[in-house]
Amino acid sequence: MALCAPLEPADHELQAAAFTSPAKWHLAHTSWFFETFILLPNLKGYRPFNPLFEQLFNSYYNGIGKPFPRDKRGLLSRPSLGEVLRYRLWVDEAMQALLADTSLWPLIELGLNHEQQHQELLLTDLQYCWSVNPLAPAYAAPMNETKFTHQKISWHEFGGGIHSIGYQGNAFSFDNEGPRHSVLVSDGAIANRLITTREYLEFMADDGYQRPDLWLADGWAWVQQNAIEAPLYWRETHDGWRRFSLHGDQPLALDNPVTHVSFYEADAYARWAGARLPTEAEWELVASKQAVVGGFQESAYWYPQGAVNDQSLQQLFGETWQWTSSTYQAYPKYKPAAGAVGEYNGKFMCNQMVLRGASCLTPVAHARASYRNFFYPHERWQFTGIRLARF
């Protein structure tokens, strides 16, 4: 609700592409999760706010019913924003009766973390929807986005051998972060920081988008079919390159990490740089030895106060999600939860690539070494960036 506070009512309705969802839909869907998976099965006498909402705000759970088409969510002018807000209040009030039931806490915690994921999606979806508006609306006040000064890239070496990855501990984790298991890793090194905008401009100046030898076949086809020439939100003007952000139209901050690049672009850059993308096991092996410190500043557009406690490694968390070379698939002995809630992660383990870390919009509790984000290789509306590795 706080994230939506700066928005006009019409802003809640926007859906500029099929992969985005309106802010109003995010508000309703996160309430739908609690109603569907917790209230209806467990609260005796619970009466749904509106039975039709079961279809309207079902995202992809086919075990429950036929979801409303994702690409048409922006057509749902009704229910109104006011009715969706009343729906949230209805669900919140009903949940009070179940909070003391400890047997439900794991599912309630999943619902809370699910809503935190949608907080990040709400802002990135809004950024994309506003990016098509020539007025370049700003979610937050314009600001100087320059946060970093130039630093020479260096390499953090890690030893090979058999290592364990996957979540270990007693706090919350998503089911796709486990089970913990052994992996074989070769000796290698990972870059101490993310690739910067300045460095990515050098790739572009060297005809990076015009050289098929740098691209995977699907990536080259994607570049050609979509006339891709730069990261998402970039535009070239007579004064140089600029980018659209949640702070409106901004000049490029050259020493900040490059963001909004696809896996194809990240992989092509790595080839051009004579390096490669890390595997998710390599990334976790290195990140698990670092501590996430600090929290997020109290602003609508979240920035981290600290990233890691080892200054030889920077920007592992809290700047951009980082593409890996690993495909998203189940860990050994993974079993999805029983029932429809088992569709949460397991059904997507195909044709997507794993990202690690956390972006500047990620709730800080999700910034952990074992967290596995995943997107299709062409997608780039999230804050996605590049960290290199080498053998």
- 104: tokens are 């439900």
pLDDT band for 300, please (50, 70, 90 cuts): very low
The predicted pLDDT at position 299 comes to 39
Chain-centroid distance, C-alpha 248: 20
Query: 167: phi > 0 → left, psi -120 to 50 → alpha, else beta; which?
Result: beta
Torsion angle of C-alpha atoms 15, 18, 24, 28, degrees rounded to 10: 170
For the stretch 103-159, pLDDT in tens is: 999 999 999 999 999 999 999 999 999 999 999 999 988 766 667 778 899 999 999
Integer-rounded Cα Rg, in Å, for the chain is: 21
Q: Tell me the pLDDT band of 295, cut-offs 50, 70 and 90.
A: very low
Flag whether pLDDT at 261 surpasses 50. yes
As a residue count, the chain comes to: 391
Contact 126, 139 (CB under 8 A): yes
Interatomic CA distance for residues 345 and 113, integer angstroms: 13
**Does residue 36 surpass a pLDDT of 80?**
yes
Fill in the DSSP letter of residue 39.
Answer: I
Q: What is the mean pLDDT of the chain?
A: 92
Least trusted range by pLDDT, from 120-134, 219-233, 281-295, 357-371: 281-295
- Tell me the H-state helices in 152-262: 197-205, 217-226
Instruction: Give backbone dihedrals phi and psi of 270, rounded to 5 degrees, phi first.
Output: -60, -40
DSSP state of 117: H
So what's the pLDDT on residue 213?
Answer: 98
Give bridge partners of residue 384 from the DSSP assignment: 321
Spell out the domain ranges in the chain: 9-131, 155-390
Q: How far apart are CA 196 and CA 306, in angstroms?
A: 19
β-pairing verdict for 181-185 and 161-165: antiparallel
- Residues 382, 22: Cα–Cα separation, whole Å: 15
CATH 3.90.1580.10 fits 155-390, yes or no: yes
- Which tens digit of pLDDT belongs to each residue from 52-90? 999 999 998 988 889 999 999 999 999 999 999 999 999
- Mean pLDDT in residue range 156-167: 96
Residue 199: which of 307, 275, 284, 280 has the closest Cα? Answer: 275
Residue 167 scores a pLDDT above 50: yes
- Of 28, 87, 19, 81, the closest CA to residue 55 belongs to 28
Q: Report the C-alpha gap between 355 and 287 in whole angstroms.
A: 13
What is the amino acid identity at position 246?
Answer: L
Those residues with Cβ within 8 angstroms of residue 313's Cβ, 6 or more apart along the chain or in another chain = 156, 190, 192, 193, 286, 290
Residues 6+ apart with CB under 8 A from 144: none
